[in-house]
Amino acid sequence: MLSEYKKSGAALFIRKIMLNMKKMKVELNEHRYYLERNVEQRTEHLLKHIAVLESCNAALCDKLILVQRDHAALQPASHGKDAETNARRLKLYVMNNHSQELIGSNVQGILDAQAAAA
């Protein structure tokens, strides 16, 4: 009689463990689903921001090249530290004056494209 009681107690214990394992597997799968979904959403969000920043960077680089050419054509030949200082000042000038304008126009263009796609 005692051995039957021990066997039924052990069987109940094993069933309880199995049920807990099944519940934990279901919970783990739910967490995995939500994490994967969050990663996908955040990745998409970051890729959009990267695209905006890359387009701004390309536009700024193009603008800088044009301004450097214009500046070089207007300035007499400089040598040494004066040339480096002038080049740095020119870069800062271009970035300060055109950064906000370009970033704003690129962001607006992307937002307009997204609105049209939706």
Is 90 buried (19+), middle (13-18) or exposed (0-12) by CB count in 10 A? middle
Report the chain's mean pLDDT, rounded to a whole number: 79
What was the pLDDT predicted at 1? 47
pLDDT band at 10 (very low <50, low <70, confident <90, very high): confident
Segment 22-51 shows an average pLDDT of 95
pTM for the full model? Answer: 0.47
Predicted confidence (pLDDT) per residue in 46-104, tens digit: 999 999 999 888 888 888 888 888 877 777 655 556 667 777 777 776 666 666 666 66
Amino acid type, 90: L
Which residues, in sequence order, are CB contacts of 64 under 8 Å at separation 6+?
Answer: 91, 94, 95
Domains of the chain: total: 1
Structural domain boundaries enclosing 84: 2-117
